Amino acid sequence: MASVQTQRSFNRRACGKLSRTLFRSSPVRHGPPVLAVPSSLFAILKEILRHLLRRPVVGVSVIARTKAGQLVLIKRGDTHLWALPGGTVEWGEDLRTTALRELLEEAGIKQAQLGNLCGVYSHPDRDPRFHAITILVHATVAEPEQPPYNPAEIVEVRLFAMDQLPLELSHGNREMLDRALSGAHFWE
């Protein structure tokens, strides 16, 4: 296990260094950077490539509830609707790691206990951006401790009492949430 963690840490450091080298100017180098691609543009390019490759994208969404029973929702920058925290699996990442990373990046949650799988959603038209396969899991979480990593993607994070949830959620999340809260296990 230690070697796996060491390898992951090395990969993150190596990727981070490569990214800084390619996409930012060096403090030693004078003049404009060779490739000045903003991270938001880079994210858009990745999404375009997913469309071109014509393969389903696998992701995880999390029904994240505090010990007090409040549900964590994020407000998306693209749809301006509330949604469950979650995102796509990165290369070399397992589903549990994806869920924990997305909770941190999108909701600022540093402490989470992942629970049971409650759904697998694969209908090609559920996500308007691309054909997504979403794995839905429960988690018990601490309250958010920091803002989202990308404020253009996630504009707000909020805790909701279960009787005060928004009627509409982005990307089919309301149907997914209602099924999971009813105790149903669902897959398509």
Beta strands in 53-98 (DSSP E): 57-66, 71-76, 82-83, 86-88
**156 labelled catalytic:** yes
Pick the catalytic residue: 93, 143, 153, 156? 156
End-to-end CA separation in angstroms for the chain: 34
- Other CB atoms closer than 10 Å to residue 94's CB: what's the count? 9
In angstroms, the CA 176 to CA 86 distance is 13
Residue 114 CA to chain centroid, in angstroms? 15
Question: Which residue numbers are catalytic?
Answer: 156
